[in-house]
């Protein structure tokens, strides 16, 4: 989904007339299956129960949305004029540790989402990867893959293929998805093989192996999805699998221009037509939105009939509803620095992060309605209001260093993954045995954000979100404690083979990789503490030495608010946006649910709090981890809930001159 529209220049020579010649050419063979199949395709059209079928689809990923809201989002998708939902599945959420398949977790019950879609008159296209990108940590791969000896992802590497076989079999059988294929009376029409692989590589042995693994578990139509240029389409094409394209309308002619294998040809499908785009952290990165951007909106509205009238093409809008990368689930890019995605996945979608219909929604609906049977699209339900929560105080009650848990000791530092940790923070401690001073080098590079302390006083922050992270110098005397608190900002989830930087998808390790040196001298003797924060402290420990004016340790704050009442004719408490106006950087939990990260640099200045998490008319517990209490401009910590979201940017107090 990151392929640039600049590739349009490569296909401008292909006219609509040339593309239509494809439709009328009788020499093209059928690409797949027989008329006995409920869903099939020929050279020009998809067929559903023997009748031509145009997919008018949109991307909604259930694992980004509280499961209590799945039906609401699907009803609104149907009312937009869609007939099909495209959805990723996130392997890392389904199998967080090897062999632990969370089939009973309602948030991962993808089969239930598909059944609701069918009940609401929608079909489904499954996009299981194993790689999905999606601005997720590691492109949706579980972090534990990197601990397997000889592992290399997205290639014909036997350890990776073996884990992929297990994953796909579990998805089909343990999650109950196989029985929901259209061939068995379910809503699933097609399954995508891999995802935009041509942007990454052209290993035919690998893509054929993944095709065969998917075929071992699903009997319905398979397709690939790649960007609209020669090398992505040709690199991702798999014999016997329908080739689809993604990008703007400009990408449509590229498929038939660059794919010549008749076994991959058939009706045109734009598998990702972008309604807008994601947001990244940074003082100079404003929120991406179509609001006030009439040129973009006009382009979208014009491209909808262009797909149907000029190419008889099917389409999937990415995203129809983006949702949220809650907790530590956001991924990153590598652009000679870490480009980290914010927690919100609003994406400028026609359904915003809270699932409310927008102006873009209604304008897209108006453009879609002429292409669907009259009377087949219901009216959109009215949006529920969002709640406001009055400001409430939060009280400091313990430090992060006090709740660090079990210790692992080693002469040299270990990566986060080697410690058995996937997300969050890792604390590395060393007690100096001799005088030493100079710049700190945390392994091969900062991975990703390193706060340096000496005796719990901050000496500086090294942040790989900047191309040139700051140098931090320390001076240690015997007995001094050097602490490096390393924050995982998200593993790289996308890499293009056209990228001039090296392949960071094969370098996913977090924490510290390599030796730590001070002034060029390697430091040995480390104690390490995992701080994944799957659970947050609820009671302060006794005699916390870090809770004093002599420590800059990150601080947990706690407070409560009274949840708003359930609105009339609704079973849910209203949504809101939690704002932490005096906070600098950290995470917010409400009733033990991790909403995600806040950072004053923006563009995100508040966190989506779904009403499904809130207890109406009673106390709701809020825990905030503030990583930088020494940077706070106020000694008090407060929070409040906003009914309307505020976006904005501020300078980074840790690196005012960094870009």
User: Could you give the residue numbers annotated as active site?
Assistant: 196, 272
Using a 10 angstrom Cβ sphere, with 0-12 exposed, 13-18 middle and 19 or more buried, the burial of residue 634 is exposed
Cβ-Cβ contacts under 8 Å for 212 (sequence gap 6 or more): none
Using a 10 angstrom Cβ sphere, with 0-12 exposed, 13-18 middle and 19 or more buried, the burial of residue 202 is middle
Cβ-Cβ contacts under 8 Å for 527 (sequence gap 6 or more): 407, 408, 409, 428, 429, 430
Cβ-Cβ contacts under 8 Å for 107 (sequence gap 6 or more): 63, 66, 67, 93
Q: Using omega within 30 degrees of 0 as the cis cutoff, is the peptide bond preceding 319 cis?
A: yes
Which phi-psi region, left, alpha or beta, contains residue 200 (left: φ > 0; alpha: ψ -120 to 50)? Answer: alpha
Q: State the DSSP H helix or E strand holding residue 213, giving kind and residue range, or none if neither.
A: helix 204-217
Please state, in angstroms and rounded to a whole number, the distance separating the CA atoms of residues 11 and 216: 36
Residue 97, beta-bridge partner list:
100
Please state, in angstroms and rounded to a whole number, the distance separating the CA atoms of residues 281 and 341: 6
Q: Using omega within 30 degrees of 0 as the cis cutoff, is the peptide bond preceding 147 cis?
A: no
Q: Residue 24 in contact with residue 341, Cβ under 8 Å? A: no
Q: State the DSSP H helix or E strand holding residue 439, giving kind and residue range, or none if neither.
A: strand 436-442
Looking from the CA of 579 toward its CB, the CA atoms found within 13 Å total 20
Write down how long the chain is: 659
Using a 10 angstrom Cβ sphere, with 0-12 exposed, 13-18 middle and 19 or more buried, the burial of residue 183 is middle
Q: Residue 329 in contact with residue 284, Cβ under 8 Å? A: no
Looking from the CA of 297 toward its CB, the CA atoms found within 13 Å total 19
Q: 530: closest CA among 400, 421, 417?
A: 421
Map residue 277 onto helix, strand or coil: coil
Q: SS3 helix, strand, coil % of the chain, rounded to 5? A: 25, 30, 45
Cβ-Cβ contacts under 8 Å for 448 (sequence gap 6 or more): 332, 338, 340, 463, 464, 465, 486, 487, 488, 489, 490, 510
Please state, in angstroms and rounded to a whole number, the distance separating the CA atoms of residues 524 and 521: 10
Q: Residue 423 in contact with residue 137, Cβ under 8 Å? A: yes
Residue burial 336-349, b: 16+ Cβ < 10 Å; e: rest = ebbbbbbbbbbbbb
């Amino acid at each position: 989904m990151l392929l640039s529209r600049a590739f349009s220049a490569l296909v401008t020579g292909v006219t609509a007339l040339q593309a239509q010649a494809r439709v009328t050419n009788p020499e093209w063979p059928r690409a797949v299956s027989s008329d006995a199949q409920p869903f099939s395709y020929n050279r020009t059209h998809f067929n559903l129960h023997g009748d031509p079928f145009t997919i008018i689809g949109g991307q909604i990923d259930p694992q980004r949305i509280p499961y209590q809201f799945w039906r609401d989002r699907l009803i609104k998708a149907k009312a937009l004029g869609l007939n099909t939902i495209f959805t990723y599945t996130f392997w890392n959420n389904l199998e967080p540790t090897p062999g632990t398949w969370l089939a009973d977790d309602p948030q991962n019950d993808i089969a239930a989402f598909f059944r609701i879609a069918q009940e609401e008159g929608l079909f489904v296209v499954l996009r299981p990867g194993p790689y999905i990108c999606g601005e997720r940590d590691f492109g949706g791969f579980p972090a534990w893959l990197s601990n397997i000896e000889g592992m290399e992802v997205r290639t014909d590497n036997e350890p990776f293929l073996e884990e992929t076989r297990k994953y796909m079999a579990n998805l089909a059988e343990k999650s109950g998805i196989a029985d929901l294929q259209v061939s068995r009376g379910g809503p699933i029409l097609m399954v995508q093989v891999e995802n935009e692989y041509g942007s990454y590589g052209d290993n035919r042995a690998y893509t054929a192996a993944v095709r065969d693994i998917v075929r071992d578990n699903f009997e319905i139509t398979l397709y690939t999805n790649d960007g609209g240029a020669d090398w992505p389409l040709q690199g991702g094409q798999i014999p016997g699998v329908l080739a689809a394209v993604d990008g703007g309308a400009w990408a449509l002619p590229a498929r038939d221009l660059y794919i010549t294998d008749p076994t991959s040809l058939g009706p045109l499908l734009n598998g990702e037509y972008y309604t807008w785009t994601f947001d990244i952290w940074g003082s100079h990165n404003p929120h991406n939105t179509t609001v006030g951007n009439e040129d973009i909106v006009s382009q979208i509205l014009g491209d909808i009939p262009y797909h149907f009238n000029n190419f008889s093409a099917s389409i999937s809008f990415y995203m129809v509803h983006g949702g949220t990368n809650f907790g530590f689930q956001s991924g990153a890019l590598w652009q000679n620095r870490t480009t980290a995605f914010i927690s919100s996945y609003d994406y400028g979608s026609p359904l915003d992060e809270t699932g409310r219909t927008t102006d873009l929604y209604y304008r897209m609906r108006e453009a879609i309605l002429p292409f669907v049977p009259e009377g087949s699209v219901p009216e959109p339900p009215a949006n529920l209001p969002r709640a406001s929560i009055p400001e409430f105080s939060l009280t400091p009650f313990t430090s992060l260093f006090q709740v660090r848990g079990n210790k692992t000791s080693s002469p040299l530092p270990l990566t986060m993954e080697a410690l058995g940790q996937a997300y969050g923070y890792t604390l590395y401690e060393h007690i100096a045995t001799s005088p030493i001073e100079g710049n700190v080098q945390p392994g091969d590079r900062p991975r990703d954000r390193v706060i340096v302390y000496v005796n719990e006083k901050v000496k500086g922050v090294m942040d790989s979100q900047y191309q040139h992270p700051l140098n931090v110098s320390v001076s240690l005397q015997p007995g001094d404690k050097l602490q490096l608190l390393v924050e995982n900002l998200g593993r790289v989830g996308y890499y293009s083979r056209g990228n001039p930087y090296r392949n960071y998808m094969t370098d996913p390790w977090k924490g510290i990789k390599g030796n730590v040196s001070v002034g060029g001298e390697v430091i040995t003797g480390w104690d390490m503490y995992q701080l994944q924060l799957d659970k947050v402290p609820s009671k302060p420990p006794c005699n916390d030495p870090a809770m004093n004016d002599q420590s800059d340790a990150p601080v947990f704050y706690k407070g409560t608010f009274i949840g708003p009442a359930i609105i009339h004719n609704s079973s849910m408490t209203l949504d809101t946006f939690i704002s932490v106006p005096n906070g600098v950087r950290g995470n917010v939990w409400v009733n033990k649910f991790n909403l995600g990260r806040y950072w004053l640099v923006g563009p995100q200045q508040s966190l989506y709090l779904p009403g499904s998490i809130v207890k109406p008319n009673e106390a709701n517990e809020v825990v905030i981890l503030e990583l930088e209490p020494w940077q706070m401009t106020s000694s008090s910590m407060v929070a409040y809930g906003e009914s309307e979201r505020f976006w904005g940017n501020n300078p980074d107090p840790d690196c005012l001159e960094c870009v």
